[in-house]
A and B are shown apart, each in its own frame.
Chain A
Amino acid sequence: MKTVIEASEAVALGAKLSRVKVCPMYPITPSTHIPERISDYIFDGEMDAEMIHVESEHSAASALIGSILTGARSFTATSSNGFELMYEILPILSGMRLPAVMAVANRAVAGPINIWNDHSDAVSARDQGWVQFYVESSQECIDTIIQCYKIAEDKNVQMPVMMCLDGFSLTHVFENVDIPEQKQVDSFLPPFKREDILDVKNPKTFGPIGLPDSFMNFKKQQQDAMINAIDVIKKANLDYKKLFGRGYGDGLIELYKMDDAEYAILAMGTICGTAKAKAEELRAKGKKVGVIRLRSYRPFPVEALKKAFKKLTRLAVLDRHISLGSDGPLFTEINAIAPGLDVFGYIAGLGGRDVTLDHMESVYLDLETGKQKREWLM
Chain B
Amino acid sequence: MTRKETVGDVAKESIPLNTGAVIRTPGNTKKYHTGSWRTFRPVIDQKTCIKCGTCWRVCPDAAIYIDKDGKYRINYDYCKGCLICFRECPVKAISKELEQK
Q: Report A's interface with B, CB cutoff 8 A.
A: 95-98, 158, 196, 203-208, 210-211, 213-214, 217-218, 221
Contacts and interface: CB of A to CB of B under 8 A. Distances in A.
Contacts of A203: 26
Contacts of A196: 18-20, 22, 24
B23 A205 contact: yes
A30 B20 CA distance: 32
A213 B8 contact: yes
A142 B22 CA distance: 32
Contacts, number: 46
Given A203-B26, A205-B26, A217 B20 contact: no
Nearest to B17: A217
Nearest to B15: A214
Nearest to B8: A213
B21 A95 contact: yes
Interface string B1-33: 000100111000000011111111010100000
A214 B5 CA distance: 9
B18 A214 contact: no
Contacts of B4: 217
Interface string B42-71: 000000000000000000000000000000
27 contacts: A95-B20, A95-B21, A96-B20, A96-B21, A97-B19, A97-B20, A196-B19, A196-B20, A196-B24, A204-B23, A204-B24, A204-B26, A205-B22, A205-B26, A205-B28, A206-B20, A206-B22, A207-B21, A208-B23, A210-B7, A211-B7, A213-B7, A214-B17, A217-B7, A218-B17, A218-B21, A221-B19
Contact of A158 (B19, B23, B24, B26): B19
The bracket for how many chain B residues form the interface is 10 to 19
Please give me the 8 A-B residue pairs with the lowest Cβ-Cβ distance, nearest first: A97-B20, A205-B23, A214-B7, A196-B22, A96-B20, A203-B26, A97-B19, A204-B24
A204 to B, nearest CB: 5
Contacts of B7: 210-211, 213-214, 217
B21 A210 contact: yes
Nearest to A158: B19
A204 B23 CA distance: 6
Q: Looking at B4, B17, B20, which has the most chain A CB atoms within 10 Å of its CB?
A: B20
Nearest to B26: A203
Contacts of A211: 7
Q: Looking at A95, A206, A214, which has the most chain B CB atoms within 10 Å of its CB?
A: A214
Contacts of B9: 213
A213 B19 CA distance: 16
Nearest to A96: B20
Contacts of B26: 203-205
Given A205-B26, A213-B8, A217-B4, A158 B17 contact: no
A206 B20 CA distance: 8
B15 to A, nearest CB: 8
Given A158-B19, A196-B24, A204-B26, 4 more contacts: A158-B20, A205-B23, A205-B28, A214-B8
A59 B7 CA distance: 31
Nearest to B3: A213
Nearest to B9: A213
Contacts of A221: 17, 19
B13 to A, nearest CB: 14
Contacts of A218: 17, 21
